[in-house]
């Protein structure tokens, strides 16, 4: 049996075969069919207690005694009245705070959930509030899945997707994020189509290559923001340590596996990264890769005098858009909502006091 000093494994971090194996390892007669029904009851349907078609009594007793069924605590939920984005603040058992956002989609009654992968972030991106927190710790798969289930269960409609674009760098917590994505896409888990799960990265080259090699089927977005090496190092200090040619090669590897357009995100910073030199650099690096460019307006609550970034003017944005047309790739201006409640891209900073010790910041 599980010893008194050993923490119980978390139900919301398990796949059916893992739950079944765990119970069997502790002397419980269990089969995978029972595990599937049990997980579907708790995760897919958001129910508690005993499933309508219950497993055996031994299975139920074993699951009760050998698995922790706990959820994250909801500290706060706030909705931006201008666009319906709803931000959730969660507290983990150790007191760590993390956030998630429910995002309305264009199709009425449908939503996606923006999920965090870490408490804070070590990437130190110069325009991102989360990066200024430093990294406290990684989120475990169960914490990510618990956040998703809570947001989904309270949605006034159907949740059809999940995006790992909240606090943290998903590929800096690679194994936990992939495990969470597997649970979210499992028929007994979140029941989200793999192609409706998107993982974002600032460009961690080894992990992009691993992701491509493992062929998971989830979508990938690479936050490029600048294709000029010196500028990118200034804006994305950690990710900028990788040579641009190596990043381009990793994106190319993923493109060959994905067999479709590769999305690169571009946080548009007024007066900074919208010149012709950027367009020329994109063409030189990735001209042979089928791309989609997502333009995202920066969200920086700081004033420029405090080191903050302003949004590009309409003139700056239009000139850059016109210059990008020469690449002959789809260009999308992505709406980043929830700004009034600090729920927009780059603004998630667990404002109720999540902090990081200096030792856990990026090396």
104-143 pLDDT, tens digit per residue, is: 999 999 999 999 999 999 999 999 888 888 999 999 999 9
Q: Is 99 a catalytic residue?
A: yes
- Residue 182 predicted with pLDDT over 70: yes
pLDDT at 316: 95
- Residue 33 predicted with pLDDT over 60: yes
**Band of residue 145 on the pLDDT scale cut at 50, 70, 90:** very high
* pTM for the whole structure: 0.90
**Band of residue 355 on the pLDDT scale cut at 50, 70, 90:** very low
- Residue 90 predicted with pLDDT over 70: yes
Residue corresponding to tokens 């409640």: 341
Residue corresponding to tokens 């201008």: 82
195-243: pLDDT as tens digits: 999 999 999 999 999 999 999 999 999 999 999 999 999 999 988 899 9
pLDDT at 233: 95
How far apart CA 189 and CA 185 sit, in angstroms, is: 7
CATH 3.40.50.970 matches 73-360: no
Q: What residues does each domain of the chain span?
A: 11-66, 73-360
Residue corresponding to tokens 């012709």: 276
- Residue 310 predicted with pLDDT over 60: yes
Average pLDDT, the chain: 90
| Of 112-121, 209-218, 286-295, 301-310, the least confident | 301-310
- Residue 98 predicted with pLDDT over 70: yes
Q: Is 345 a catalytic residue?
A: yes
**Band of residue 336 on the pLDDT scale cut at 50, 70, 90:** low
64, with CB counted inside 10 A (0-12, 13-18, 19+), is exposed
- Residue 30 predicted with pLDDT over 70: yes
Q: Terminus-to-terminus CA distance in the chain, angstroms?
A: 40
Q: Where are the alpha helices (DSSP H) in 94-196?
A: 141-153, 174-185
**Band of residue 349 on the pLDDT scale cut at 50, 70, 90:** low
- Residue 189 predicted with pLDDT over 50: yes
Catalytic position from the list 20, 34, 99, 128: 99
Catalytic position from the list 121, 125, 128, 345: 345
| Of 83-87, 175-179, 189-193, 253-257, the least confident | 83-87
- Residue 151 predicted with pLDDT over 60: yes
- Residue 347 predicted with pLDDT over 60: no
- 93 and 102 in contact (C-beta within 8 Å)? no
How far apart CA 260 and CA 292 sit, in angstroms, is: 10
> What is the 3-class SS of 193-247, one letter each residue?
CHHHEEEEECCCHHHHHHHHHHCCCCEEEEECCCCCHHHHHHHCCCHHHCCHHHH
């Amino acid at each position: 049996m599980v010893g008194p000093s050993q923490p119980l494994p978390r139900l919301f971090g398990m796949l059916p075969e893992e739950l079944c194996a765990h119970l069997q390892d502790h002397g419980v007669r269990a089969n995978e069919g029972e595990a599937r029904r049990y997980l579907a009851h708790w995760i897919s349907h958001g129910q508690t207690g005993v499933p309508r078609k219950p497993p055996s009594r031994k299975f139920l007793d074993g699951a009760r005694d050998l698995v922790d069924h706990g959820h994250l605590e909801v500290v706060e939920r706030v909705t931006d009245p201008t666009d319906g984005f709803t931000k959730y603040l969660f507290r983990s058992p150790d007191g760590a705070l993390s956030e998630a956002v429910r995002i309305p989609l264009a199709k009425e009654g449908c939503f996606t959930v923006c999920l965090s992968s870490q408490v804070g972030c070590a990437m130190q991106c110069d325009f991102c509030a989360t990066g200024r927190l430093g990294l406290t710790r990684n989120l475990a798969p169960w914490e990510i899945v618990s956040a998703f289930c809570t947001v989904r269960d309270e949605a006034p409609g159907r949740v059809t997707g999940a995006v790992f674009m909240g606090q943290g760098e998903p590929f800096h917590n690679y194994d936990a994020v992939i495990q969470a994505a597997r649970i979210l896409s499992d028929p007994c888990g979140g029941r989200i189509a793999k192609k409706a799960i998107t993982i974002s990265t600032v460009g961690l080259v080894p992990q992009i290559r691993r992701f491509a090699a493992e062929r998971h089927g989830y979508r990938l977005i690479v936050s490029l923001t600048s294709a000029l090496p010196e500028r990118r190092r200034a804006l994305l200090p950690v990710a900028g340590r990788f040579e641009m040619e190596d990043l381009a090669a990793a994106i190319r590897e993923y493109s060959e596996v994905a067999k479709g357009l590769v999305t690169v995100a571009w946080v548009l910073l007024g007066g900074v990264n919208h010149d012709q030199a950027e367009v020329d650099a994109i063409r030189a690096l990735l001209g042979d890769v089928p791309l989609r460019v997502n333009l995202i307006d920066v969200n920086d609550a700081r004033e420029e005098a405090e080191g903050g970034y302003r949004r590009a003017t309409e003139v700056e944005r239009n000139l850059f858009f016109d210059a990008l047309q020469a690449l002959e790739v789809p260009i999308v201006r992505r709406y980043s909502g929830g700004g009034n409640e600090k729920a927009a891209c780059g603004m998630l900073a667990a404002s109720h006091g999540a902090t990081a010790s200096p030792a856990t910041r990026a090396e």
